[in-house]
Amino acid sequence: SNSRSSEPRRTGGDSAGRRKTGDAVVPGVPASEPPSLAEPTKARDPLPPKADQQGPANVSPTGADYNAPPETNAQQGRYLTTSTGVRLGDTDHSLKAGPRGPVLLQDHHLREKITHFDHERIPERVVHARGAAAHGTFVANGAAAGISKAGFLAKGVETPVFVRFSTVLGSRGSADTVRDTRGFATKFYTDEGIYDLVGNNIPVFFIQDGIKFPDLIHAGKPQPDREIPQAQSAHDTFWDFVSLHTEAQHHTLWNMSDRALPASFRTMEGFGLHTFRMINDAGETCLVKFHWKPRQGVHSQTWEEAQLTQGLDPDFHRRDLADAIEAGVYPVWDLGVQVMPDNDEQTFSGIDLLDPTKLVPEELAEVQIIGTMTLNRNPINYFAETEQVMFNPGHLVPGIDVTNDPLLQARLFSYIDTQLSRLGGPNFSQLPINRPHAAVNDLLRDGSHQDAVPGGVAAYRPNSLDGGCPFTASTAEGAFIDIPTEVHGAKVRELSESFEDHYTQCRLFYASLGEVEKQHVIAAYTFELAKCYEENIKLRQLGCLANIDAELCQQVAAGLGLPAPKPTEKLTTPEPSPALSQLGGRWPVAGRRVGVVVGADTDPTVAAAVADAVRSAGMLPLLIAPTGGTFGKQAIQRSYLTAASVELDAAVLAGLAAPADDAFPARDSKAGHQPAGQLDPRVVKLFGELFRQAKPIGVLDGLDDSGIADVVDLGAPGVATGSASAVVDELTELLAQHRMWQRG
């Protein structure tokens, strides 16, 4: 303010003595002369560019280095401290007025500890809440260099990845081995920024337009009145929706197949599902579909195994992934693309590439391998990494772009939006697991959970104050390319006519399955529909099955005790696509778990010989003995009490597993586990289940009359008898074929 008075002013304020906001109040001290208005305001020199243009990266009030491995980023020093770094001498007693007195409100440590604990949970993901993840690397083989300019697809480039596998419907604490689609989400920390491939283990989806996603999920999640059933599609609202909404039939059919019961995350295929568009250096475009092909093979549990596992080990898949990586049996997937021309219609062989309920059979467009991913490091902290990771199909890098698939378009909105409530604000990209490995200089500022201290004054563009930084990049400098595609048409709430074909590919999938796979599908529909209460829903779904396959419809109807309806569509007979079946093929046996069952009197050297042979075939022996502890020199991994058929890929009866004195608790016999011959009833149960689950079984010489023949047909396919080495050799060969379905 410009005072016309020559009187010195005592305090801040205008000529009337009123204080102005911002003036310091210093009673009794004369104010210095106010600056004259005539003083020229001179633009100061621009600040030098920020040190390394790393954006919000490395600046933290605590000096923590966010690029350092997470373990150094969390706990520091050897002493327990408060969150403000004050060392603590006691964390077990709250501050009280005397040892028997009331607790004092002034106890900061108590309040901080409890308050933080009270807020430890964040909202679980609205879908895909249950998951497990691992770190790894992706190495490109260069085959995609001709179709995409993405740097991470160039030959030999190695890119760190983080992969999260998940179920869709269950809550965070639900069982792993439920019948459900599995998420397969991969974050590539490329030099050009984050690329997320957010796919599933099923190549098609329930709905064609993202606006229906809330309807689908409301129908699939537990029913809202009693909040049951958990992590299941076997209930009325799910079948009500999919039978009324027949575009869901194709995905539902996959869910009734073995694909919905993966043996392990390691034995799942992954699909990017939508069609994406790629652009190369020359500006040429093509349409692609992504596939992850597991080197471990594509294997599933049986429904009986899945149900047993849910009780015996609800963390089965999570444990399996972590154990395999810890044991150094790193799971490996090849990444492949089906490449289709970018034509005006965006169709291929009559298949609408924008319709996410349709797949392109591999026999029509070969899956060409463009790189390989190895998962080789377990997360250090579940919450910090697996829970806080976020994926987004809109996280793209130059060279890969989206198409007009209306499901994908809705996803592009949903995945940022959901993090605002799940991760508590807009700064989720700063969480260590989500941080790009490329330089970030984003002009995004402030907001809840702001973790960075950005320098400079010009959080805007253009500017002259921060040296003009940050600059925009040219295409040559690696700017993202929104591939210019023609868009025309009236604004309508419609889909194109080709989206109305809901059954052709259901028939294709069903016709491509092997006999045993079809039996599993029939059993799955029969089970799930039998769990519905409303007969109308069952009848309506049978009507849908009639449009897929007459035999399928009749058998499910018979199982439900209902009449089989007639089809309302002409039943075409598609050319089968063998790639859609999981049967056949030979697979590596590395990491397979082979039970070695011994009795108290078994010669430890025999048990050791079997275990050594299993180990030298690259598989994992699990020694199963009457009690825990050691057997000879070997550690016992499972007792008869803790051994479970579902965690074994095969088993060898290596000794007379005779009943211990206390092996027949009254309740076991009542439950029908009668001793067979001289074998412990739990061993009988174990082998009976393994035999039913079509798994390879070995029985060492001299044990044929132990009673094992009562539960295992020793002449059946996949049952090996002989010496330790002969049996293990044969089992190894059998395991390469996975299951002995010919046992019937």
Instruction: Supply the residues annotated as catalytic.
Output: 128, 200
* Closest residue to ligand HDD, based on beta-carbon distance: 183
Q: Which of 210, 331, 406, 436 binds ligand HDD (CB under 6 A)?
A: 210
DSSP code of residue 412: H
Q: Least distance from C-beta 193 to ligand HDD, angstroms?
A: 18
507 known member of a binding site: no
DSSP 535-588: HHHHHHHHHHHHTT-HHHHHHHHHHHT-PPPPPSS----PPP-GGG---S----
356 binds ligand HDD (CB under 6 A): yes
Q: Least distance from C-beta 196 to ligand HDD, angstroms?
A: 9
Per-position x/- string for 296-335, each x denoting binding to ligand HDD as judged by CB under 6 A, each - no binding = ----------------------------------------
Closer residue to ligand HDD in complex, CB, 239/271:
271
Closer residue to ligand HDD in complex, CB, 354/597:
354
For the beta carbon of residue 111, count every other beta carbon within 10 angstroms: 12
Q: Under rule CB under 6 A, which residues in 650-669 are in contact with ligand HDD?
A: none
Chain centre to alpha carbon of residue 93: 41
Q: Applying CB under 6 A, which part among 142-150, 195-203, 463-471, 676-684 lies near ligand HDD?
A: 195-203
Q: Least distance from C-beta 436 to ligand HDD, angstroms?
A: 17
| Count of residues in contact with ligand HDD, rule CB under 6 A | 27
DSSP 373-401: EEEEE--S-IIIIIIT----TT---TTEE
Tokens 């001793």 — which residue? 675
Q: Which of 159, 166, 257, 582 binds ligand HDD (CB under 6 A)?
A: 166
Q: Applying CB under 6 A, which part among 127-135, 251-259, 362-370, 514-522 lies near ligand HDD?
A: 127-135
**Distance separating alpha carbons of residues 115 and 627, to the nearest angstrom:** 45
Closer residue to ligand HDD in complex, CB, 203/371:
203
For helices 535-546 and 550-560, angle between their N-to-C axes, nearest 10 degrees: 160
Query: What Rg, from alpha-carbon coordinates, does the chain have?
Result: 32
Per-position x/- string for 90-119, each x denoting binding to ligand HDD as judged by CB under 6 A, each - no binding = ------------------------------
**Distance separating alpha carbons of residues 504 and 277, to the nearest angstrom:** 25
- Residue type for position 180: D
Q: Least distance from C-beta 271 to ligand HDD, angstroms?
A: 7
277 known member of a binding site: no
411 binds ligand HDD (CB under 6 A): yes
Q: Least distance from C-beta 272 to ligand HDD, angstroms?
A: 8
Pair 572, 599: CB distance under 8 Å: no
Closer residue to ligand HDD in complex, CB, 506/552:
506
Pair 441, 470: CB distance under 8 Å: yes
125 binds ligand HDD (CB under 6 A): yes
Dihedral (Cα; 437, 442, 446, 449), 10-degree rounding: -20
Closer residue to ligand HDD in complex, CB, 419/637:
419
213 binds ligand HDD (CB under 6 A): yes
Largest CA distance in the chain: 119
291 binds ligand HDD (CB under 6 A): no
288 binds ligand HDD (CB under 6 A): no
**Distance separating alpha carbons of residues 74 and 319, to the nearest angstrom:** 25
Closer residue to ligand HDD in complex, CB, 170/356:
356
DSSP element (H, E) containing 526: helix 515-530
415 known member of a binding site: yes
Give the HSE-up count for residue 630: Cα atoms under 13 Å, Cβ half-sphere: 4
Q: Which of 109, 128, 638, 739 binds ligand HDD (CB under 6 A)?
A: 128
126 binds ligand HDD (CB under 6 A): yes
Phi-psi region of 53 (alpha: psi -120 to 50; beta: other; left: phi over 0): left
Strand, coil or helix: what is 625?
strand
Burial environment of residue 278 by CB neighbours within 10 A (0 to 12, 13 to 18, 19 or more): buried
Q: Least distance from C-beta 338 to ligand HDD, angstroms?
A: 16
682 known member of a binding site: no
Closer residue to ligand HDD in complex, CB, 352/680:
352
125 known member of a binding site: yes
Residues 6+ apart with CB under 8 A from 478: 151, 192, 398
Tokens 């879908």 — which residue? 127
Closer residue to ligand HDD in complex, CB, 260/407:
407
Judging by DSSP bridges, how do beta strands 697-700 and 719-722 pair with one another? parallel
Closer residue to ligand HDD in complex, CB, 313/387:
387
238 binds ligand HDD (CB under 6 A): no
Residue 146: name the closest of 290, 276, 339 by CA: 339
203 binds ligand HDD (CB under 6 A): no
Q: Which of 162, 205, 333, 428 binds ligand HDD (CB under 6 A)?
A: 205
**Distance separating alpha carbons of residues 365 and 146, to the nearest angstrom:** 17
Burial environment of residue 437 by CB neighbours within 10 A (0 to 12, 13 to 18, 19 or more): middle
Strand, coil or helix: what is 163?
strand
592 known member of a binding site: no
Q: Under rule CB under 6 A, which residues in 366-395 are in contact with ligand HDD?
A: 389-391
Q: Applying CB under 6 A, which part among 105-113, 153-161, 411-419, 682-690 lies near ligand HDD?
A: 411-419
Q: Applying CB under 6 A, which part among 260-268, 413-421, 677-685, 702-710 lies near ligand HDD?
A: 413-421
Q: Least distance from C-beta 124 to ligand HDD, angstroms?
A: 9
Judged by the rule CB under 6 A, the positions of this chain that interact with ligand HDD are 125-128, 131, 164, 166, 183, 185, 198-200, 205, 210, 213, 273-274, 356, 389-391, 407, 410-411, 414-415, 418
Which residues make up each annotated binding site?
A: 125, 164, 213, 411, 415, 422
Which residues make up each annotated binding site for heme?
A: 125, 164, 213, 411, 415, 422
